Structure 1
Amino acid sequence: MKNTVLVLHSSSDLYGASRSLIRSVVGLKEKGYSPIVALSSEGPLSDAIRKEGIEVKIIRLGIIRRKYFNFSGLINRAKYLYRASSALLALVNERNIKLIYTNTTAVWIGAWVAKKKNIKHIWHVREIIETPIWFKNFIERYITYTGDLALCVSQAVIENMKPNVPSYMMKLVYNGINYLPFKEATYDLKDELGIPQDTILIGMIARVHFWKGQSYFLDVAKALAHRHDHLHFVMVGDAFEGYEYLYDEIKDKVKANGLTDKVSNLGYRTDIPNIMSGLDIFMLPSILPDPLPTTVLEAMAAGKPVVATAHGGATEMVLDGETGYLVPWDEAENASLAFDTLITDPSRRLAMGQAGQERVIEHFSIDAYVENMGKVFREFIGEK
């Protein structure tokens, strides 16, 4: 009988962490395990997982978000955490589950259930939490108390969790991607947007959130538009639930920065390989450390130079001056200077893009990721 692994995740979107989850559970299935994925709601992710022949359970998991950091919010979370614990305990008993794998620190209930049932639990830490300090300390101690292992997506994540999480508990496992769809895509995004082919297209892809840097991206765009005429800027991504108001702020900022005719906000898209193939330059403008942004790997796989803010996992992905540039996250004018050579020199864009593509193939392949994850699970289930 196959070993059954209960997998918990915080959303049903198809952004970076969710796409990585698909790779994880497909890899588990290929290695002979039987994953059951628990999500709070139906959505693109649940559809994608079922298409892989993997079972999905819809259980409101009581996901922890900053918007619940108030009295009524905590009461709300307590109610759903109680209900989720009952449902998960029943599932663990019914399916004889011996291992729970939680794909994000925003889901707490799986760790509690594992502790209660005295079964093994793996955290996959995809976040860098800096503030508030009380919350950072709490979640890191909770990880230590409830986990047998904390898989970390970058060295930046490991450094951030010291000293609350002991070193022996943490293991670095870089995300891997299937680079072929990005390497092979050929899409004329400029034609879709109705702009001249000699326009330099600079883009970002991220869920709309205050720390993802959409506002900073527009500040950089403003500085660049003052120096260069043939530019257009693309933003892709919808808002986190509860942050829809940021869309209005983005629209206001586009107008205030004089970029009305130079910015296209495409919202939620699923054809990310097409978007990446149509760009000339990709930017990661996160104003807080991003643990290991998948979009950077995807842009590199598409052969695009990457300009990324110099903190978090980006510093482990982008080779400054070789595959792109690392820039300040709080000085838009200064950050914009890194684009000048890429804008004016097509050969520089091509060389950096090729170097980035080679780096992804060598260090961030899906095969290496699946093999590493399979080894982790074999060790914890006790197989040779």
Structure 2
Amino acid sequence: MTRGPIHVCHVQTTLRAGGLENGVVNIVNGLDPARFRSTVLCLHDAGALAARIVNPTAQVINLAYPDRLAPELPFRLAKLFRELKPDIVHCRNYTPNLYGTLGARLARVPAVVNGEHGLVQTVGWRGKLVSRTLALFADRVLCVSPGLRDYLVQTLHYPPAQVQVIVNGVSLERFDSLRVDRAAKRRELGVPEDAWLLGTVARFFPFKDHPAMLDLLERVPEVAGRPVHAVIIGDGEGAAAFRAEAERRGLSARMHLPGFRSDVAECYPTFDLFCLFSTGNEGTSNAILEAMAAGVPIVATAIEGNRHLIRSGENGVLVPPAGEAKRAALAREVPRLLGDPGLRARLAETAGREVRAKFRLQRMIDDYAAFYAGLAS
């Protein structure tokens, strides 16, 4: 199908800070430039992570389309694909799958991949129907967790042979080489030295359920005489409303919101617990993998994407994904973990061993290289 380096064109909404976007940057940077070259097409905006792409054969193209229905976009993409001549177009999640798949087929791109990262589980039946229909025009559907593959095949009836899994990986070297002054970094975040700190790294999307953190701070103001604080590192359209809600509840002194930070890896060691309270739409959480690599004990919701990473009581703690059961479990488990340093250490140690055995970044990049080479053969 191709001679010379395989040209992979990645289509996505943005390169703003986020797990999916960070994964694309890692793939583009990690692929051997002698074998692959990459183009990243951002439908809406390039975002801060575009500057992290350092592979000399890669380029980022920002189409700057508004976030609205755009019937003309497949035709514009088709024209662009004819100019770029990619061997593979790899789209990720609903909007890129919609426009990118149609544009690639109009341009007769040799191979098209629909990427599913969990969003299909949260859209309504129309969105599911559109996603299932688009898969008919793709050569492969690639997802990031075994549970998501099961959902696509068993619930949405995707052809089993069409759906493959490549689980995310994390750069262990990024964490193993860290030398962080924990007290100084906490002061930088505005966290008192004597406080317990619950940390989250996530954008402000509704499914992340950040309000659960406010509920937890209300229910658990202190443990063993030490105040409980929380920090959410990330940005998004919901950040301003969340900040206002924290102020309304009188929690702004204990709820720290630094926004996007480029030093996220250095922030993990400041956490006493890493928390991910998502109600859905997690494939394989990069933030959980990073917390495992950083040696931070984890409390997360028992959604499918988290259950294949966390075995409750062995390498972390899982709580129900929603409702009063979730709130009650958090109010019970967080004080228990904060009050038991031995348990926290055991959970973190087990998680650290497992992330090093199963979730190395180079393993992920090798898997993508083999996947793309197979499509282009």
RMSD across aligned C-alpha pairs, in angstroms?
Answer: 2.1
Amino acid at match of 2:50: S
2:50 to 13, 35, 46: 46
Pair 151,31 (structure 1): closer, same or farther in 2 beyond 3 Å: farther
2:336 to 338, 341, 346: 341
Q: 1:148 aligned to 2:130?
A: no
Q: What residue is the counterpart of 2:301 in the other structure? A: 309
Whole-angstrom distance in 1 between the partners of 2:87 and 2:321:
43
Q: CA deviation at 1:178?
A: 0.4
Whole-angstrom distance in 1 between the partners of 2:176 and 2:311:
19
Classify the secondary structure of the residue corresponding to 2:205: coil
1:235 to 232, 237, 242: 232
Amino acid at match of 2:7: T
CA displacement, residues 215-269 of structure 1 (integer Å, 9 cap, x when unaligned): 1221122222166642111111111xxxx3x334312331344323211111111
Whole-angstrom distance in 2 between the partners of 1:3 and 1:172:
21
Contact 1:60 1:80 in 2 (8 A): no
Contact 2:117 2:281 in 1 (8 A): no
Q: What residue is the counterpart of 1:60 in the other structure? A: 63
Q: CA deviation at 1:279?
A: 0.9
Q: CA deviation at 1:150?
A: 1.2
The equivalences for 1:109-258 within 5 A come to 109-116=99-106, 117=108, 119-129=110-120, 130-143=122-135, 145-162=136-153, 163-185=156-178, 186-188=180-182, 189-225=185-221, 229-239=226-236, 244=237, 246-258=238-250
Contact 1:203 1:234 in 2 (8 A): yes
Contact 1:329 1:335 in 2 (8 A): no
Pair 294,48 (structure 1): closer, same or farther in 2 beyond 3 Å: same
Normalising by structure 2, report the TM-score.
Answer: 0.89
Structure 2 residue ranges without an equivalent (≥5): none
Q: 1:5 aligned to 2:2?
A: no
Whole-angstrom distance in 1 between the partners of 2:181 and 2:165:
35
Q: What residue is the counterpart of 1:370 in the other structure? A: 365
Whole-angstrom distance in 1 between the partners of 2:313 and 2:29:
36
Whole-angstrom distance in 1 between the partners of 2:257 and 2:265:
17
Classify the secondary structure of the residue corresponding to 2:113: strand
Count of equivalent residues: 361
Pair 184,346 (structure 1): closer, same or farther in 2 beyond 3 Å: farther
Over 6 Å off, 4+ runs: none
Moved more, 313-322 or 283-292: 283-292
Structure 1 residue ranges without an equivalent (≥5): none
Contact 2:230 2:254 in 1 (8 A): yes
Whole-angstrom distance in 1 between the partners of 2:374 and 2:281:
31
Pair 362,148 (structure 1): closer, same or farther in 2 beyond 3 Å: same
Q: CA deviation at 1:306?
A: 0.7
Whole-angstrom distance in 2 between the partners of 1:230 and 1:111:
51
Amino acid at match of 1:110: G
Pair 38,360 (structure 1): closer, same or farther in 2 beyond 3 Å: same
Q: Percent identity?
A: 21
Pair 221,81 (structure 1): closer, same or farther in 2 beyond 3 Å: farther
Contact 1:220 1:336 in 2 (8 A): yes
CA displacement, residues 168-196 of structure 1 (integer Å, 9 cap, x when unaligned): 11111100110222233224232224544
Amino acid at match of 2:76: R
Amino acid at match of 1:45: L
Contact 1:2 1:33 in 2 (8 A): yes
Amino acid at match of 1:169: Q
Whole-angstrom distance in 1 between the partners of 2:346 and 2:202:
25
Pair 183,213 (structure 1): closer, same or farther in 2 beyond 3 Å: farther
Whole-angstrom distance in 1 between the partners of 2:312 and 2:337:
13
Normalising by structure 1, report the TM-score.
Answer: 0.87
Moved more, 23-32 or 3-12: 23-32
Whole-angstrom distance in 1 between the partners of 2:288 and 2:146:
16
Classify the secondary structure of the residue corresponding to 1:211: helix
CA displacement, residues 304-328 of structure 1 (integer Å, 9 cap, x when unaligned): 1110011031111112101211101
Moved more, 145-154 or 155-164: 155-164
Q: CA deviation at 1:285?
A: 0.8
Q: CA deviation at 1:343?
A: 0.7
Pair 131,122 (structure 1): closer, same or farther in 2 beyond 3 Å: closer
